[in-house]
Structure 1
Amino acid sequence: MNFRLFIAIFFLGVSQAAFGQKAAVTGAVVDKKDGQPLEYASVAVFKTADSSLVAGAVTDAKGAFTLEKLKPGNYHLRVLFMGYEAGYVSGINLTEGQRLSLGKVSLSRGSALLNQVNVTGERADVSSRIDKQTFRAGQFESAKGGNAIDVLKNLPSVSMDGQGGITVRGSSGFLVLINGKPVITDAQTVLSQLPANAVENIELITSPSAKYDPDGKGGIINIITKKGATDGLAVSANIMAGLPSTTDHGNKENPKRFGGDLTVNFKKNKWDVSISGNYTRNDNAGYREGDVYTKNFTSGIITRFPSNGERSFDKYNYAGRASATFTPDSNNTFSAGFFIGKRYQARLADILYNNTASDLNTGELISSTIYFNSNLQTKEGNFSLGNLDYTRRFRNQSTLTASALFESARLYGNTCNRNLGYPDMTKVLQEVRNPYENPIDGYRFKLDYSVNIGKGKLESGYQFRHDRQNGKFDYFVDPATSQPDAERFRGSAKTRNQVNSVYTQYSGRQQKLEYVAGLRYEYAARTVELSYDPEPHKLDLSNLFPSVNLLYNINEKWKTKAGYSKRIQRTNNFELNPIPEREHSETLEQGDPDLLPSFIDLAEAGPVYNFKNGSVFVTAYYQHIKNPIQRVNSVYADTILNRVFTNAEAARTFGLEAGTNLQPAKWWSLYLGGNVYNYRIKGNLEILGVSSTVNNKNWVYSLNMNTSFKLGTTWSLQANVNYLSARPTAQGEDSRFLVPNTSLKRTFMDGRMAATLQWQNMDLGMKQTQRQRITTSGRDFYTTTNYIYETDVFLLNLSFNLNKPGGKSRLPNSEFGDKEF
């Protein structure tokens, strides 16, 4: 019944296109300086005779607006947008049934914004809308030569830990969009393949509306990439090279750092074409210190196996992207894109273990063994995909958009554990290998329709998405051992995911109040087939996802926002795969084919204040999470821990985030963002059939700061710091993590060329930067590992721009395969 109800609502929205209309006025609101469209600008039409308000509308993502059902007469138009001077169009004379196009209505930036532009030569660094905050990527100089993660980690709601894990308001699950297109992949993987130099803006959508996929408990991050000049040819090129860090961890080889990217854009008449390619080699040196013990209450033995040694990464990726947009007329737009790329990672962990077995009661030493474990884990992924989009605009300014995407990815790798004697490391005690192949194919189809009704806009749509994965996993031990469950370590795991969804939402403005409210219905089916299990593991879900966002404009400086949305954190295939992998000598890792997705209720509210030299926002938020997905430990054997995925009963987060963008002086700008929240997880945990209870909570805070100094017309200095405090987990705590950076920039050739010297991970021998300790414990085990990464790294980035780019480029990105890398 729910599905039929939403199908009816969807087609009710579509049927509005057939309704008869009176006179109408259409147009588009743009920035007078650069011609960029202004979304969510307020447009109102008044009678000329008495200046009474007749109708109003809010512009869409392309700045377009439509005012319909107007009677014949004389009118004038007023356009308002935060940070811009009001725009007026007078002398509008309408006749019965006339559809008058005003073309582009240009707005000049207000004095506060103009002052900032005059000083920096760039657009505002931060802007706030009813459903999102937008951050200009170019303000973060330390990200130059890096990837999109290096930009993203500076946002006030975002933090990154020592493992590279990204969280939004403390949640590791969030949906990534590339130019509005969903990327149902692991965020760290997909963003690491996108050069920072290609990113124009980042939109943070913490309370998404119903038109977006409900994936991700942390909300949505939309990456807007750069595009060519308004008309003509634009070329952007960057090269990066770096030195090994000044700290020595005794690694076998020095890390290599170099890369480059090139983007060529051409726009002329009806065509807009973008081609880009990049190669990045960015190794990481490091070290780890671990301490573990397990208790065997049956035999009365406690086994300790502290360890230390190298933990380094060799990493590279390369990719090519191409897109083309063809606009034969003002009513039709065709666009297509293609992507092909490769990513490789080799993690080397050469660890020395000192194992002892002692009497659990007396502490008397029973046995002692020292051995060396050389652990090499390789992962490779070859990705290719294509997308095709079509948009049709009708006479009543309604739009119909159809989108299709297909991806094929070939993922494969191996984990090899070699236990060697010590100090005689020529003697091989045991070798364990876990090779695998994991191909994945997926596709998505979307159909969206929007039409202006009354003083607002009704949007409705349907989406179908499907992905399948056929993983083959093997297990070899030499010399062979007597392991009763060895067959469980090899086999195949086939996963199928299919989601049908429909949505409808209405947005508009009533005097000072802007609003967006909608509802989404989804039917999702998941099947996991295992080679050793005759019965497939199935899960069917039917759910509603409501959302509402409000923004009230108190005056020209003050506004306040509030929002609510229901979200889902889906399981990925890695979390569902129960075939164990010997990730380390001391660790097995496996998933659960019956793992449940998490359901999240998000609510937030807070004010935004704009003043002459900047802006500030404060947002209070609350999250309630049902079935939070956790990675926890249990004891597999005396010297091996089993790391598994499971569901806890519930978790909740409440917190406060704030950010400000200031310009205290013409030569000094400051960006500061902070987040503090209280996280609690509680309830029962089922770990491989064994039940336990968890109840852990604590306060967590993070701070991201970025400050820039203009040292002249061509020189600038920037410093930034990212800090994340200690935070609770289901079985323990992750320690704090600190990363400070500094960059010095010099521009040449009227700004078309720039050289940036970066000092990353500043530490100066204080041993405070790039370190993180992860601790977990249970009734019969305790483990703590301190990960130490390289510090004081120097990079040089050179960039060149011919016709400085700006705006959106619809270059595609991996949608499915990256998630399983």
Structure 2
Amino acid sequence: MKYIFSILLIPLLSFNAFAQTNVKGKIIDSLDDPIPFALVSFLDKSGEKLLSSTVADEVGLFQITLEPNTYQMVVSFMGFKELVVPEIKVTGQNLDLGQFKLEESVQELAEYQVEGKSFAIQQTVGKQIFSSSDFEAAVGGNVTDILRNLPSISINGEGELTLRGATGFLLLLNGKPVQGDPMSILGQLPANIIENIEITTSPSSKFDADGKAGVINILTKKGTIDGLSLVMNGFAGAPSLDLHDNQNQPRRYNADFTLNYIKNKWDIAIGADYNRNDIAGFRNGTIEVLRGDTLTSSISSGERSYRRSSYSYRGLVSYNWNDLHKTSASINAGAKRELRTADLLYNQSRRRASNPMAFENFPYFNENGRERNSDFLIIQMDHSWKISKTSKVDASFLYEKTELGGPTININRNPENPLDVYDLQRMEEFNPLEGFRANIDFENKLSDNLDLMAGYQFRRLKHTGVFEFFERQFDIGRDNLLPEFSSDILLERNIHAFYSQINGKKSNKLDYSVGLRLEKTERDFLDNTNSENYNLSLLNVFPNLNLNYAMGDYSFNFAYSRRIDRTITSMMNPFFARRHAEVLEVGDPELLPEFTDALEIGGKKLFDKGSLFMTSYYRRTTNSINRINAVFNDSILLRVYTNAGVSNVLGLETGTEYEFTDWAKIYFGANIFYFNIQGELMGEPRSNSSLNSSFDINTTIGLTKGFTMVFNFNYLSRTVTFQGEESSFFSPNLSLKKSLPRAKLDLALHWRNIGLGMINSNRQTISGSGRGFFTSTEYISERDIVAFSISYRLNQINKLLRFSKSEFGDKEY
């Protein structure tokens, strides 16, 4: 334990601090609503030299420590007129400047350049805020392309996202929880519409307790001026330079638009997008199974590609009844399609374990295609009531209906005569889902330095699963249903949550947040095939604590929280599902959720041309859910979801940005952590551990006026799993961007997964072993993707636009 605390204290020992005068205030708009993330700058009395600056938090409050002096203060935020306060006198005593009201700009926002410091990383109590504008290489892509550049986040070759080494996290879109599959949602959202990304590793009790690693909040843009705002984006990819002999040329193109009209009390927005994003790829694999004295080896290679498309349309209407009441309603509907093709040539051989010579060889060609479809409708309504100057109530509800499903087809052929079919199997999935969420939240300002939040939240999920497995009977030309691989299931889950939270300030230097969340969960899993019901009833308490202490350009933080990672339906299905030739998958209807306790200590230093932060963290997870492989027969593995044990993570992350000149800036982020998992597998104790690391570099260089180059490099080291390991993975990317302010256009050329035909980027090997088997698979994805993007804007869209998003369906997708 002493080593854990020693490492946790590293950030505190790495910074020196000096006491100065604390200055605070609040930025509001004409309706007295807070303006989040406004830039507050303090210049010398002449207004010619920038001395210090800060950014307001999400409720418009700012706090900064200054030397005693006379300053000129400038407050700015896009869509509002700049506010200049000619004289602010700072003495040796703490100073509360009160409120500053910004006026909305009624003129079209032109292209402009901010003089002075602009930081990619902002930190408030318990969270880090990253500006998407500092990661231009993601333009034309999706949110995932931004996230892979952040220090806490890693994305491997299979597209799996981890936050500080953990896969479970809660995704928010504009502060609204999403219980859908995060990667599905992130892959659909265009990077062009993102304003900021917030990472909260120790969330407050107001947030759902889901997600053992923490919370990722995606904030989208919105118009802020009266009149019409329009943004249109287009993206087109060149033909593949790295096709890997795939049958079809991948297609990559997308388009989206957001139209926003603001007038008087009305705020109306509509938007739509279409995205086609195919990826070519190749796969090499080996499976060895020992049963008795016979060793069966299956070596495979061939195409593994994805064909992905999605579209959606959305609308939002918001009305300010008066200064006290505001109502909004939104709708989002669309569809997603994904076809994974794995056409592999297998060479299967058998030999005695004591004899290297094979006594049997059986080559075959396996065609495997899995299609996933999702048609969704989401409706959301919100109402805000300002009871008084110090208190308000927010109410919200969301309804979602999603049709999930799609076939999986598995065909084995004679490689020398493709018309000679050995067997044909087909699995049909039909998974309709309905979800409902309602919440009411109360906020009250008890004093100038103390706020109280409390509320009730309810979630309900109903998810049906019908799985039918067919096998072709060639002599009669009919597909027969196989009951042992078919199932009919139903998952129902109700969650009642109560929370309270206190946010406060003390001595104008200490910010604190302490909260408690109580959740009552009822989970019913019905196996209709065997008429069995599995019930799980839980009553859990989730505390949290956040402390932040500021001294001038230094700040320090401490945080603790408890989280839960719930099971999804596919993890609980007790029937065999055959996804491809090598694996049968089965779930556990009595699978328990994971519980995580997380602790972190960190610090940040602002300096003249940049910033540096460092955070050490510890995370302990019980009921750790792992996907375990075991032997099913001599050529097929059985994949089982199970609570395998306890995992511990001890890590250190750091990030820095530095502005060399007015035209060159670099951002570097790194994360290193020790991972250990201990548990029991099939009655035998098992332990595995590794030292893991990742780093990201993002460099922006202004070549000429309005012409910039952005290069980034993402690296993920080798990491272990419960039964094996994943190899290292890296991806370099380059973008060139030209801004044409008069034409209101941005043009960009993108070169992603740079390989030059010889660098082994964008590939990864995943291996595992257990009693009687060994497996290793190398996934090789397309390199040297070249694409062009264009963005047009009529007025600027730069504040939050709260379209409704998936609460339930995308997680199962």
TM-score range, shorter chain: 0.7 to 0.9
Q: Is the 8 A contact 1:229 1:265 kept in 2?
A: no
Per the TM alignment, residue 816 of structure 1 is displaced from its structure 2 partner at its CA by 0.7
Give distance in 2, aligned partners of 1:691 and 1:333. 59
- Name the counterpart of 1:677: 673
In 2, the alpha carbon distance for the partners of 1:521 and 1:657 equals 31
CA distance in 2, matches of 1:61, 1:515: 15
- Determine the structure 1 residue equivalent to 2:148: 153
Matched, 1:321 2:314: yes
Per-residue CA shift, 1:382-434, capped at 9, x if unaligned? Answer: 01110000111122420101110000000111110000012111100000111
Kindly state the Cα deviation for residue 365 of structure 1 after the two structures are TM-superposed.
2.1
Q: How does 1:115-514 map to 2 (within 5 A)?
A: 118-119=114-115, 124-297=119-292, 300-454=293-447, 455-479=449-473, 486-511=482-507, 512-514=509-511
Distance 2:441 2:114 in 1: 40
- Aligned equivalents of 1:626, 1:696: Cα separation in 2: 15
Structure 1 residue 248, shift from structure 2 partner: 3.1
- 2:66 match: none
Which amino acid is 1:382 matched to?
Answer: D
Q: 2:655 is matched with which residue? A: 659
CA drift at 1:590 = 2.0
Give the aligned partner of residue 797 of structure 2: 805
What amino acid maps onto 1:738 in structure 2? F
Separation in 2 of the partners of 1:497 and 1:79?
Answer: 53
**8 Å Cα contact 2:489/2:529 also seen in 1:** no
* 2:35 alignment counterpart: 37
Q: CA deviation at 1:766?
A: 2.3
**Partners of 1:591 and 1:149 in 2: CA distance:** 28
What residue is the counterpart of 1:544 in the other structure?
541
For residue 29 of structure 1, report the CA deviation from its aligned partner: 1.3
By how many angstroms is 1:245 displaced?
Answer: 2.5
Opposite residue 343 of structure 2, the aligned amino acid is: D
How far 1:486 moved relative to its partner? 4.7
Separation of aligned partners in 2, 1:745 and 1:156: 24
Partners of 2:556 and 2:73 lie apart in 1 by 20
Cα deviation for residue 573 of structure 1 reads: 1.0
Partners in 2 of 1:134 and 1:435 — Cα distance?
43
- Contact kept? 1:752, 1:804, Cα under 8 Å: no
Per the alignment, do residues 644 and 318 of structure 1 end up closer, same or farther by CA in structure 2, a change over 3 Å counting?
Answer: same
The residue type equivalent to 1:701 in the other structure is S
Q: Indicate conservation of the 8 Å contact 2:27/2:38, yes or no.
A: no
State the distance in 2 between where 1:536 and 1:40 align.
54
The alpha-carbon distance between structure 1 residues 170 and 117, as it changes in their structure 2 partners (threshold 3 A), is farther
Residue 668 (1) aligns with residue 664 (2): yes
The letter for the 2-side match of 1:519 is L
* Alignment of 1:791 onto 2:783: yes
User: AA paired with 1:37?
Assistant: I
- CA change 1:368–1:764 in 2 (3 A) is same
Aligned residue number for residue 717 of structure 2: 725
Counterpart amino acid of residue 187 in structure 1: P
For 2:272 and 2:412, locate their aligned partners in 1 and report how far apart those are by CA, in whole Å: 41
CA distance in 2 between counterparts of 1:458 and 1:659 reads 33
RMSD of the TM alignment (CA)?
2.8
Contact 1:145-1:260 at 8 Å conserved across structures = no
Larger mean Cα displacement after TM superposition, 337-346 or 268-277: 268-277
Amino acid at match of 2:428: P
What percent identity do the matched residue pairs reach?
36
C-alpha contact 1:31 1:38 (8 A) present in aligned 2: no
TM-aligned CA distance change 1:591 to 1:28, over 3 Å: same
User: Is 1:519 the counterpart of 2:511 in the alignment?
Assistant: no
Contact 1:145/1:197 (<8 A) preserved: yes
Q: Distance in 1 between matches of 2:761 and 2:229?
A: 39
Equivalent position amino acid for 2:529 in 1: Y
Q: Is the 8 A contact 2:694 2:716 kept in 1?
A: yes
**Contact 1:277/1:321 (<8 A) preserved:** yes
Shift of 1:337: 0.8
User: What is the aligned counterpart of 1:761 among 738, 753, 765?
Assistant: 753
Q: How far apart are the structure 2 equivalents of 1:734 and 1:642?
A: 20
The one-letter code matched in structure 2 to 1:29 is: I
Shift of 1:694: 2.0
Q: What's the CA shift for 1:153?
A: 1.4
Amino acid at match of 2:484: R
CA contact (8 A) 2:330 2:804 kept: yes
Q: Residues 470-619 of structure 1 correspond to what in structure 2 (within 5 A)?
A: 470-479=464-473, 486-511=482-507, 512-554=509-551, 556-619=552-615
Q: C-alpha deviations, 1:709-768, integer Å up to 9, x for none? A: 001112111100111011000000001111100001111134720110000110112241
The match for 2:810 is 818
SS in 2 for 1:189: helix
CA distance in 1, matches of 2:245, 2:39: 58
Taking a change above 3 Å as real, the CA distance of residues 38 and 658 of structure 1, as seen in their structure-2 partners, is same
Letter in 2 for 1:370: P
**2:623 is the alignment partner of 1:627:** yes
Matches of 1:87 and 1:540, distance apart in 2: 58
Q: What's the offset of the Cα at 1:103?
A: 6.6
Number of residue equivalences: 740
Q: Distance between the aligned counterparts of 1:90 and 1:284, measured in 2?
A: 57
Q: Secondary structure at the match of 2:660?
A: strand
Deviation at 1:124, TM superposition (A): 3.6
Partner of 2:731: 739
Structure 1 residues 98-130: Cα deviation after superposition (integer angstroms, max 9, x where no partner): xxx9874469xxxxxxxx96359x954221101
Q: TM-score, normalised by structure 1?
A: 0.86
CA distance in structure 1 between the partners assigned to 2:87 and 2:748 by the alignment: 46
Deviation readout 1:163-193 (Å, 9 max, x if unpaired) = 1100100011100000000001211011112
**In terms of mean alpha carbon deviation, does 241-250 or 420-429 score higher?**
241-250
Equivalent residue letter for 1:773: T
Deviation at 1:632, TM superposition (A): 1.4
Query: Structure 1 residues 534 and 401 mapped into 2: Cα distance closer, same or farther (>3 Å)?
Result: same
Q: Any gaps of 5 or more consecutive residues in structure 1?
A: 1-25, 43-57, 66-77, 92-100, 108-115
Residue 700 of structure 1 corresponds to: 692
Contact map agreement 1:41 1:79 (CA 8 A) in 2: no
1:643 is aligned to 639
2:558 & 2:240 partners in 1: Cα distance?
46
Deviation at 1:291, TM superposition (A): 0.8
AA partner of residue 170 (structure 1)? G
- TM-score normalised to the size of structure 2? 0.87
User: Could you list the per-position Cα deviations for residues 276-323 of structure 1 after superposition, in whole angstroms to 9, with x for gaps in the alignment?
Assistant: 1100101000000001110102xx211000100000111100001111
Matches within 5 A, 1:48-87: 61-63=58-60
Q: Per-residue deviation at 1:812?
A: 1.2
* 1:581 positional shift: 1.7
The aligned residue for residue 23 of structure 1 is: none
Cα offset, 1:63, TM superposition:
2.5
- Please give the alpha-carbon distance, in whole angstroms, between the structure 1 residues aligned to 2:499 and 2:582: 48
Gaps of 5+ in 2: 1-23, 41-54, 63-71, 90-96, 104-111
1:531-558 CA-to-partner distances (Å, cap 9, x unmatched) read 233220111111100000000012x200
Which residue identity lines up with residue 443 of structure 1 in the other structure? F
2:640, 2:164 → 1: CA distance? 24
